[in-house]
Amino acid sequence: MADEEEIILSELDDEELVLQMHDDLYDGLKEEIEEGVRILLDRGWAPYDVLTKALVAGMTIVGADFRDGILFVPEVLLAANAMKAGMAILKPLLAETGAPKVGKMVIGTVKGDIHDIGKNLVGMMMEGAGFEVVDIGINNPVENYIAALEREEADILGMSALLTTTMPYMKVVIDTMKEKGMRDDYIVLVGGAPLNEEFGKAIGADAYCRDAAVAVQTAKDFISRKHNKLAAG
Ligand code: B1M
């Protein structure tokens, strides 16, 4: 039957392939996603375009149907695994630019929150822009952030939260840094789908970053301001 015919990804044009990848991500088809990523790269696509147009856009569709009760946790987990498999292929391409190291960032998802795709993406893009990144993973209590900042002698703290119930924990981390007299030693950047600029300001972060590209640009801006300040003595 026609609708049971196997789709040969390499025979699709770019636009059809990207749409098919959205479907495959939705269906959690890891191998198909890996193949699609490789095909787009072979066709000369920039890794960042593959990431945003094929993977992140696909995950947005998954997110909408998750919200609307059409998809459930097991299916979304499969989609997340497929997305991660695609990201793993892109990671070295995004991360190895040979750029000189410009600063060090500790990044982690806050306590109670296990979403890590956005955080991983930010880490990858930061590495690609020449930052050293120490990823402390998910579900981090304040102690983990403080210990990592001190141990790593980082310049930047990055925090991620995807739930409205976990985002207030970012303030706990920043308040604890203030209590310990260490807040001003670090650039604090926050991000995650439910946050906004106002929230970032209200909790005392230096900046809210809408996406990974904004995180990179914001980090660069703050680091160069820090260097200028030091140079001015
Ligand atoms: Co969850 N989940 N989830 N989930 N999940 C959301 C966040 C949700 C919006 C879905 C929905 O209802 N539409 C909803 C939250 C609602 C709310 O709080 N108001 C939700 C829920 C409710 C839940 C559970 C409670 C479901 C349940 O169990 N009933 C549960 C909670 C678990 C927990 O954390 N304790 C849960 C579980 C899961 C899975 C495990 C199934 C899976 C996570 C797998 C994983 O991460 N390994 C999952 C997923 C995949 C999602 C959605 C569908 C996709 C998230 C994602 O990866 N997006 C999500 C829907 C959505 O966000 N619209 C949803 C792609 C990623 C590239 O984007 O993470 O936004 P994002 O990151 C962006 C920016 O936000 C920014 O840059 C990134 C790249 O551009 N950014 C930063 C992120 N972090 C940053 C840090 C920075 C800077 C920028 O630091 C400097």
From 72, 99, 126, give the residue that closes a domain: 99
- Ligand 1: which of 26, 110, 115 to mutate, judged by most atoms within 8 Å of the beta carbon? 115
What pLDDT sits at residue 1? 42
115 lines ligand 1 (CB under 6 A): yes
Closest residue CA from atom 73 of ligand 1: 118
Closest residue CA from atom 25 of ligand 1: 163
Statement to judge: residues 105 and 219 lie in one domain:
yes
57 lines ligand 1 (CB under 6 A): no
Stated as kind and residue range, the H or E segment containing 207 is strand 207-209
From 58, 75, 99, give the residue that closes a domain: 99
Q: How far is the CA of 59 from the centre of ligand 1 (A)?
A: 10
Is residue 91 within 8 A of residue 124, CB to CB? The reply is: yes
Is residue 149 within 8 A of residue 182, CB to CB? The reply is: yes
What pLDDT sits at residue 100? 67
Statement to judge: residues 199 and 233 lie in one domain:
yes
What pLDDT sits at residue 2? 47
Average pLDDT over residues 171-183: 98
The 10s digit of each residue's pLDDT in 97-135 is 566 678 999 999 999 999 999 999 999 889 878 899 999
Confidence of residue 4 (pLDDT cuts 50, 70, 90): low
Residue ranges making up the domain that contains 22? 10-99
111: helix, coil or strand? coil
Number of other residues whose CB lies within 10 A of the CB of residue 168: 15
Statement to judge: residues 94 and 116 lie in one domain:
no
Contacts 24+ apart (CB under 8 A), 221-225: 222/156, 222/187, 222/189, 223/102, 223/103, 223/155, 223/156, 223/187
CATH number for the domain that contains residue 190: 3.40.50.280
Is residue 165 within 8 A of residue 192, CB to CB? The reply is: no
From 99, 123, 142, give the residue that closes a domain: 99
123-156 as b/e, with b when 16 or more CB fall inside 10 Å? bbbbbbbbbbbbbbebbbebebbbebbeeeebbb
Residue 5 falls inside a structural domain:
no
**Rounded Cα distance, 218 and 99, in Å:** 17
124 lines ligand 1 (CB under 6 A): no
* Residue 191 β-bridge partners: 160, 209
Q: Could you give the number of structural domains in the chain?
A: 2
**Rounded Cα distance, 196 and 208, in Å:** 6
CA distances from 168 to 119, 142, 219 (A): 17, 12, 22
Confidence of residue 47 (pLDDT cuts 50, 70, 90): very high
Strand pairing class (103-109; 131-135) = parallel
Confidence of residue 229 (pLDDT cuts 50, 70, 90): confident
Atom of ligand 1 nearest to the CA of 115: 46
80 lines ligand 1 (CB under 6 A): yes
| Least confident stretch, 2-11, 83-92, 152-161, 188-197 | 2-11
